[in-house]
Structures are given as C-alpha cells and as structure tokens.
Amino acid sequence: MIAPQQHVIVSILHRQRHRLTYARPRMQTPNDTISFRLPAEFLKLLDERAVNDGEKSVNTCARKLVVRALTDTERTELREEVTKLQEDFTKMRGDLATLGAYLLVKVAKEQPQEAEAWVREHLAP
C-alpha cells in the first residue's frame, strides 16, 4: 500500500507526464503557413507587381514583399530623415519670414504692419 504522501507525489508526477505527453505547446517551424485576404484592388496591384517582377505566383511575390518590409530598415530611416528635413525647412521659412519683415522695416523703411502683411503673403510658412 502507498503512503498518503507518496500517493500525492505519484499523482503529481502522473499529471506532469500527462501534460508533457498530451498538452505540448505547438512548436513553430521555420515554414509556418500564413494566409490572409486582400481587397480586390490590392490583389490586382499584387498581381501586377508579380508580373512586373517576373514572379511565378502572387504568393511568392507577397512573401518577398512581407520579408522585405520586415527587414528593410533603410526605408524607415529615410522616412525619418525626410521628416526631419521637412521640419528644418519649415523652421527656415519662418526664419526667412522674420528676416524679411526686419529688412523691410529697417532698410526699406516700410511700416511694420505693411511689412508683416507682405511677409505673410509671400514668405510665411
């Protein structure tokens, strides 16, 4: 006969073995299948892209596009640089507008209100 403590240990071991045997988590393999639906207009674009790129099928084209999008850091960096340039350009236009108003008032002897109106019309960002 099994002592009560040993019975509990045997029961726990049995449950653990059962979990390991029957409740294993699904292991992902490198080639798991992924599927998704595309609206008709995007499917048409994907089909055109596959033909233009000489792909065998839209599936291979879609796979390459997804991989490229996930691994392409250059586009993200380029977008960030373009955004920074746009911000710099907007600031420079504001600085130019301020300088233009100053020159109109000091050098051209325009009234400040007229100078500001001209700057808003022609130089303001």
Half-sphere exposure of 79 (CA within 13 A, CB side): 4
pLDDT in tens, the chain (125 residues): 445 444 444 445 455 555 555 555 556 566 778 888 999 999 999 999 999 999 999 999 999 999 998 998 898 899 999 999 999 999 999 999 999 999 999 999 999 999 999 999 998 76
Q: What's the token pair of residue 16? A: 């653990």
Q: What is the pLDDT of residue 25?
A: 57
What is the residue extent of each domain of the chain? 38-71, 73-125
Q: What is the pLDDT of residue 27?
A: 60
Predicted TM-score (pTM) above 0.75: no
Q: What is the pLDDT of residue 23?
A: 53
Q: What is the pLDDT of residue 17?
A: 55
- End-to-end CA distance of the chain: give it in Å, rounded: 91
Residue 102 and residue 110: Cα distance in Å, rounded?
Answer: 10
Could you write out the three-class secondary structure of 35-101? CCCCCHHHHHHHHHHHHHHCCCCHHHHHHHHHHHHHHCHHHHHHHHHHHHHHHHHHHHHHHHHHHHH
Q: What is the pLDDT of residue 28?
A: 59
